[in-house]
Amino acid sequence: MILGGFLGAHLYFLTTHPGYLSVDAGRKVFNVFSGMSVQGSVIGACAAAFFLLRSLGIPLTRFLDPVAPASALGLSIGRLGCLAMGCCYGRPTDLPIGIVFDGPYCAAPMGVRLHPTQLYESVLCLVLAGLLHHRLKTRRAPDGEVFAFFLLGYGLIRFFVQSFRNDDAGHLIWGLAHGHYMAMAMIATAVWMLRRTPRARLGS
């Protein structure tokens, strides 16, 4: 799943940022550890788990449920790395919570007060991790329900935070960034999974 996550993150980034390959394309295409996308890593990890578990005869949803809280926690920690690097930066703001980047290798615009979108997502994902862990430990949920709530929760978080981000300003489609569309896909998948959950067991 780790390898699948790296590969998915790399391929998703290349697909959504075609200008990235305008310089030194040969090296960048095969360097799977450059050009990262959180949503692509989720897709890649899930795909790797699907093929592995299918070959072992283990139900995918039963495996993904306990992985869901850890995934949300990992996303929370990962966004702190984004904050340190200055990537995934927010729009300019006059709010007191705004932050200014000035590091020599920072990816964000220098000297401008920006929404701390990395912290927004980090805190929200940490809360989501706690809620998913509580659900997993204290309620007997049908297989796949906790992971569906992870997709639903992270989809809503990403759609909300994406509205304050500014790093994709030059790649909008109909006024929305690719992160918005992937968030909507996650939400739709979660709703589909929850609708398939046996109603009689939802309150058990």
pLDDT tens digit string along 77-87? Answer: 989 998 988 88
Tell me, what's the pLDDT at 68? 92
Q: What CA–CA distance (Å, rounded) separates 141 from 184?
A: 24
Give Cβ neighbours of residue 195 (< 8 Å, ≥ 6 apart).
Answer: none
Structure token digits, residue 186: 């996650």
Residue-wise DSSP of 81-141: HHHHHT-S-B-B--STT-EEB--TT-SSPBT-EE--HHHHHHHHHHHHHHHHHHHHHHS-P
Q: CA Rg, the chain, in Å?
A: 18
Kindly give the interhelix angle for 2-16 and 38-56, rounded to the nearest 10 degrees.
140
Q: What CA–CA distance (Å, rounded) separates 46 from 51?
A: 9
Q: Is the dihedral of CA 43, 44, 49, 51 positive or negative?
A: positive
Using an 8 Å Cβ cutoff, are 196 and 34 in contact? no
Tell me, what's the pLDDT at 204? 40
Q: Is the dihedral of CA 188, 193, 194, 199 positive or negative?
A: positive
Residue 16 CA to its chain's centroid (Å)? 15
Residue 203 has pLDDT above 50, yes or no: no
Tell me, what's the pLDDT at 202? 41
Mean pLDDT in residue range 5-10: 84
Quote the pTM value.
0.76
Number of neighbouring beta carbons within 10 Å of residue 201: 12
DSSP 165: B
pLDDT tens digit string along 29-64? Answer: 666 666 567 778 878 888 888 888 888 888 777 788
Taking CA 32 as the corner, what is the angle to CA 106 and CA 171, rounded to the nearest 5 degrees?
55
Structure token digits, residue 166: 């500014």
Q: How confident is the model at residue 23 (pLDDT cuts 50, 70, 90)?
A: low
In order of 1, 38, 129, the CA distances from 41 in angstroms are: 9, 5, 17
